[in-house]
Structure 1
Amino acid sequence: MSKKINKNLTEGSIGKQLFSLTWPMTLGMLGMVIFTIIDTYFIGLLGVQQLAAISFCFPVIMFLNGLSMGIGIGTSSLISRNIIAVERSKVRLMSSRAILLGLVIVVVFVTAGINAMEPIFSSLGAKQETMPYIVDYMTIWLLGVPFVTIPMIGNNIVRATGDTKLPGMLMIASGVVNGVLDPLFIFGYGPFPELGIKGAALATVISRGISLILILIVLVKREQLLTIYLGNIKDILTTWKELIYVAIPASISLLITPISIGFITKIISGFGKEAVAAFGVASRVEMFALMVVTSLGSVLIIFVGQNISKLKFQRIFTSLNYSMVFSLIWGGVVFLILLLFGNSIASVFTNVVEVIEITKKYFYIIGASYGLQGLVILSTSSYNGINKPYPSAIFSLIRMLILYVPLAWIGARLFEINGVFCAGFIANIIVGIISYYHLNLTIKKISVS
């Protein structure tokens, strides 16, 4: 493989650069969302209990993914601010130390998760009849978390060089492999054993394992950004300190969501397993609906990071304006689709009428706020790009724990499950406006300082 040439994002057409970086990311996100949706579809065929089980697993999976993504975001921020400014040998050390840090952190939490599995899910409201399915799925999934962590951090390293196409291709490949293996392992077609919900977890681990092998080959051979010679402990800790400065608030920001969803799941569990199953289905469709904006947010970390290193503030403001307009238009289009086809979309995952009806309610209420929820995503990403990660965590905290969860608790008692969904709508609107305004104000202050 030839050596990668870094992409300079501090010059050239802003719109073209954002587009050229975002579409491969979107395809990659599509692969991962399909990855999740396929799991949900095939598990739904097993029954409502299994579908409810995977819904309980969702916040814990998001929690551990959030740890990995936080390190990945910290890595992407650090490398994007150095990739065109320092020698590649220094970037190689940053990358290698980042992967080591990710492994250390994840191993600690995975060990804790395996040893405290039933208490964790009992606290989320899981009933005894659902618990065996949760344990079956999560035991295999937890053992495969390193296969999730390394590719996630590795993809962020490659993206920080300005290449979003290859990470996108790897994410798609992982989704395709998972889609092929899911029915084989779940239902036992041909020579494959019938493993039920365990098969879904095993398909996930295998597909992520393939991603692990491929990203390591790319990082070692093509990018030349991995080494086993990490330097002395002091230098490793110095790099970790720089990473953690962004990674901790980024992880907090990401982890606030699954923690909050855990609380929301607990509230919704009071309305029955059908409501929990519907919430799980709607949450996965929401990932699909917002994947383009999420991809653009990941791109903004890279774009803003390179331009802040060269003090190109006007380019940053222009990129944010483009992104804001796109988010609002995209959110409107998605909401219209959900209004027209919400019943058909929900029916893909289950034929249980009550689950379909509750899923539609989620689409119709929270879906109306997706444009503003996109602004939250774009703003939190941009804060990491300018190396100001703490507002990202603060706004995530306000949106989920200060607004969404308390309002959902009140709404559930006043208006039942519709009140829970209205709480999400209100939180998205308020924080979307405030976070975007504060981001622009922050960058203006940096530009004149």
Structure 2
Amino acid sequence: MKPAKYDLTKAPITGLLISMTLPMIFGMLGIVAFNIVDTYYVSRLGLVPMAAMTLTFPVVMIIGALAQGIGIGAAALISKSVGEKKQDKIVRYTTDSLILGLILVFVFVVLGLMTMKPLFTALGADSETLPFVIDYMKIWYPGVMFLIIPMIGNSGIRAIGDTKTPAIIMAVAALFNMIFDPLLIFGYGPFPEMGIQGAALATVISRAITMIVALYVLIYRQKIVSLKNIHFRAIVASFKDLLYIGIPNALTRIMTPLAIGVITSLIATYGKEATAGFGIATRIEMFAMLVINALTSIYVPLLGQNLGAKKHDRVLEIIRKSEIFSILYGLLTVIFFIFLGSQLGKLFTDNLKVIETVKVYLYVIPIGYGIQGLFLIYTSTLNVFNKPMHSAILSIVRLFVIYVPLSLLLSNYLGLLGIWISLNLSFFLVAIASKYLIKKQMKHLL
């Protein structure tokens, strides 16, 4: 692999944003389809299994958060190394990020298997939903390694400027999940009827296949993973760099599902219909946010390479054009859900209370999508500027100083609507603070 092949420091910014984002949209569409397919087939099992799978979301997100945190650190470091044209650092950071991710996740998986009953009971599972939760997670936990390697590996591949390969890997996962979900959940032909356990097993099998693909790409095609010439001091130094950015981001992403766990428990007090509706609405939301998420996934390598190459005018242009894109896209999603929000819940259920929950969520939350995009851009910028603690503090303040307390307060007066309003307000307030910090950092770094 030659970093110059993926040089992001010369072509026009607008063209790069489009050419890099488009493949990631399709890749992330695959991941969203992955989750939507799970939701659709599990919803056919009934309200209790659907509510049970919703209760697993915070824990599933925590495991993913660990990989994302390390991946973000790797992407920032690798992309700047590409801009600096230092091939040895590219290989070192990519390899060590995978090793570090596996070590950290192993610890949390062991803890997860040991604490399933008390943990999910605390998250709101009752005597009806808990058996389904345990059936799902006792299969999902052992297969989590198949999730981690592709997630971190894809971050490394994107960091060198290749967004097509990660998109293909994500699409492959979605394709195999679509195939295995109905076969294992309902049982067709030689496949046993496994119910919610089938959904978990389909996920594990699909991720295992993508792990094989990712390892092939990383080791043999891109040649950015190598166990040769490893020295203890070099690994320690690499871990230190990765953890400096990775730990704040991992903790931030762990805090997110913890906060969602609190919110989910709060929503559960309104009944299983509310919990199921929240689960369906958030899965639909993944479609709406996939364009902004695709943009932010390619934003770090694009910004990092130009910062590493010391092309500061391009850094400023990348930030400005990404801001404009986020706001415009946010306005489009608001218009879309005004017309179709009331119909989407009917695709998943005929329960009127569940449909109403989905409808109100999709009328209120999209108002803040553009602001969410700005916040993601700003926190990513701080990571590339090597200010991960600033990014982490902003995220934690949003969650636990604004979102959760405000939800607890407003839900007393407005019910579920108060929770949805609180989410939008939290993003609006921290986006303002984030913009202020970005301006200060640009004065020092650019």
- Give the TM-score category using the shorter length: over 0.9
Q: CA deviation at 1:318?
A: 1.1
* Residue equivalent to 1:311: 310
Q: Following TM superposition, by how much is the alpha carbon of 1:25 offset from its aligned partner in structure 2, in angstroms?
A: 1.2
Q: Which amino acid aligns with 1:320?
A: I
1:131 offset after TM fit, Å? 0.3
> Are 1:404 and 2:403 matched, yes or no?
yes
The Cα offsets for residues 24-46 of structure 1, whole Å up to 9 and x where unpaired, read as: 11111111111111101111111
Q: Structure 1 residues 37 and 97, CA, compared in 2 at 3 Å: closer, same or farther?
A: same
Q: Is contact 1:186–1:196 with CA below 8 Å preserved after alignment?
A: yes
Q: Is the CA contact (8 Å cut-off) linking 2:3 and 2:87 kept in structure 1?
A: no
* Alignment partner, residue 327 of structure 2: 328
Matched, 1:424 2:414: no
Aligned sequence identity (%): 41
Q: Distance in 1 between matches of 2:129 and 2:391?
A: 35
Mapped contact 2:183–2:191 kept (Cα < 8 A): yes
Contact 1:96 1:230 in 2 (8 A): no
In the alignment, is residue 359 of structure 1 matched against residue 352 of structure 2?
no
Query: How far apart are 1:234 and its partner, in Å?
Result: 2.1
State how far apart, in whole Å, the 2-side matches of 1:306 and 1:83 are.
6
Identify the residue that residue 134 of structure 1 maps to in structure 2.
133
Q: 1:4·1:222 contact (CA, 8 Å) conserved in 2?
A: no
In the alignment, which residue of structure 2 is the partner of 1:145? 144
**Cα RMSD after superposing both structures:** 1.4
Describe the shift of the 1:4–1:216 C-alpha distance in structure 2 as closer, same or farther (beyond 3 A). Answer: farther
Paired AA for residue 347 in structure 2: V
* Cα deviation, residue 187, structure 1: 0.5
Aligned to 1:340: 339
Where do 5+ consecutive residues of structure 1 fail to align? none
The aligned residue for residue 180 of structure 2 is: 181
- TM-superposed CA distance for 1:431, in Å, is 1.8
Q: Which ranges of structure 2 fall in alignment gaps of 5 or more residues?
A: none
**Normalized against structure 2, the TM-score is what?**
0.97
| Counterpart Cα distance in 1 of 2:285 and 2:87 | 39
- The TM-score normalised by the length of structure 1 is 0.96
Aligned counterparts of 2:428 and 2:152: Cα–Cα separation in 1? 31
Worse-matched range after superposition: 156-165 or 412-421? 412-421
AA aligned opposite 1:312: K
Q: Check the 8 A contact 1:230/1:236 in 2, yes or no.
A: no
Q: Kindly tell me: are residues 26 and 231 of structure 1, through their superposed partners in 2, closer, same or farther at Cα, counting changes over 3 Å? A: same
Query: In 2, distance between residues paired with 1:62 and 1:367?
Result: 21
Q: How far apart are 1:352 and its partner, in Å?
A: 1.0
**How far, CA to CA, are the matches of 1:391 and 1:286 in structure 2?**
27
Please give the secondary structure, in 2, of the residue aligned with 1:387.
Answer: coil
Counterpart contact for 1:95–1:226, Cα < 8 Å:
yes
User: What is the one-letter code of the residue matched to 1:409?
Assistant: L
Aligned to 1:65: 64
Partners of 1:3 and 1:313 in 2: CA distance: 24
- Residue of structure 2 in register with 1:299 after alignment: 298
* TM-fit CA distance, 1:230: 5.8
Alignment partner of 1:265 is 2:257: no
Q: CA deviation at 1:6?
A: 3.6
TM-aligned CA deviation for residue 445 of structure 1: 2.5
Using the TM superposition, give the Cα deviation of residue 335 of structure 1 relative to its aligned residue in structure 2, in angstroms: 1.5
Q: Is the 8 A contact 1:10 1:312 kept in 2?
A: yes
One-letter amino acid matched to 1:77: A
Aligned residues: 446
Where does structure 1 differ by over 6 angstroms across 4 or more consecutive aligned residues?
none
Cα displacement (A) at 1:417 = 1.4
SS of aligned partner of 1:83 = helix
CA positional deviation for 1:233: 2.1
**Separation (CA, whole Å) in 2 of partners of 1:13 and 1:6:** 16
Q: What is the distance in 2 between the residues matched to 1:143 and 1:289?
A: 31
Give, in whole Å, the separation in 2 of the partners of 1:350 and 1:233.
55
Matched residue type, 2:414: F
Distance in 2 between residues matched to 1:327 and 1:438, nearest whole Å: 19
Q: Which residue of 1 aligns with 2:78?
A: 79
Deviations 1:308-340 (A, max 9, x none): 112222211111111111111111111211111
| CA drift at 1:3 | 6.6
* Cα shift at 1:378: 1.4
Conserved? CA contact 1:36–1:284, under 8 Å: yes
Distance 1:180 1:43 in 2: 14
Q: CA deviation at 1:426?
A: 1.2
Q: CA deviation at 1:85?
A: 2.4
125-134 or 342-351: bigger deviation? 342-351
